[in-house]
Copies of this chain bind each other. A is one copy, B any other.
Amino acid sequence: MSDFNKIVIFGVGLIGGSFALALKTARAASEIVGFERSPQLLEEALRLGVIDRAATDMREVAGADLVLIAAPVGQMPEIFASIAPYLSEKTVVTDGGSTKGDVVAAARAALGGKIARFVPAHPIAGAEHSGVTAARSDLFQGRKVVITPLPENDMEARTRVEQAWQQCGATIHVLEAGQHDRVFAAVSHLPHLLAFALVRDLACRAEAGIFFDFAASGFRDFTRIAASHPEMWRDICLANRDALLEEIDTYQKQVEEFKIALQNNDGAALEERFAVARSARRAWGERLQAQDADMPKK
């Protein structure tokens, strides 16, 4: 017998599609039903066998053991409101959003007493590619999934959701929602915004061609995330606005310090700052490599 008789997934792109494939591979789901804003993507997910059934009628949510909302965070309030009437007492709900405070607020507003069954999650499995064609059963293998449990959550719901992500191959980490948003504002949302800003800065210049002609591997790596999806990142930035604004301020002050050292020709201050960064970056890089070495080979 499967762990879940019926799983309903909203958004069958990279995250939702990979979740479906992972649970199918683990034989943890009897039936996976997909909802998707784009009819073409929905059809493609069905054709690729990522989902068993494509749905458009919210009544299909009824009877689900597990609902995953893997749509862009901007669409989540509407989805929570749409599914609320169809959630039974046995249904657990989780999500794949990159921000948590706003998702929790939207869920609280829409779900009422059923909030006990919503266990927020953020799988840390970015990929350069997006969409259902990029989905793969091992996307979450060895990756972290951060859950930000609510005080209202009942223990059984939390366990069910953790088990589902674990069956995808992920390891579970727990943060409080506000802490999650502050951490990811700093290590993910800010770098994206900074990379977008640098590329836009150059792209809008009269001599843009010459600049890009001489950009090399350092620039390539630094700006890789500037090729990320504009709509998705608009949503994330807006959803995590307060924490991100705070990080931008902190960062601008940091850059200002570097600038003042440079203005003052203060080589010692520059070198000291660079050395602190290098040492932290190297230590982190080594830890990361050690973790990757522990992961199953792709």
Q: Which A residues are within 8 Å of any B CB, using their own CB?
A: 124, 126, 144, 146, 173, 175, 179, 183-184, 186-188, 190-204, 208, 210-231, 233-235, 237-238, 241, 244-245, 248, 250-252, 254-256, 258-259, 262-263, 265, 267, 270-282, 284-285, 287-288
Q: Which of A199, A259, A279 has the most CB of B within 10 A?
A: A199
- Which residue from B183, B212, B231, B287 sits with its C-beta under 8 Å from A210? B183
Residue of B nearest to A195 (CB): B222
- B277 and A199: CB pair below 8 A? yes
Contacts A126-B216, A126-B217, A200-B254 given; 5 further ones with Cβ under 8 A?
A196-B277, A197-B251, A220-B285, A241-B265, A245-B259
- B218 and A221: CB pair below 8 A? no
- A273 and B216: CB pair below 8 A? no
Pull 29 A–B residue pairs with CB atoms less than 8 Å apart, ordered by A: A144-B214, A183-B214, A187-B214, A188-B218, A188-B219, A193-B258, A195-B222, A196-B273, A197-B258, A198-B254, A200-B254, A200-B280, A203-B276, A203-B279, A208-B280, A212-B284, A215-B284, A220-B285, A221-B222, A221-B224, A221-B225, A227-B278, A233-B274, A237-B262, A238-B262, A241-B262, A244-B262, A245-B259, A252-B255
Residues of B within 8 A of A284 (CB): 212, 215
- B194 and A237: CB pair below 8 A? no
Residues of B within 8 A of A227 (CB): 278, 281-282, 285
Residue of B nearest to A284 (CB): B212
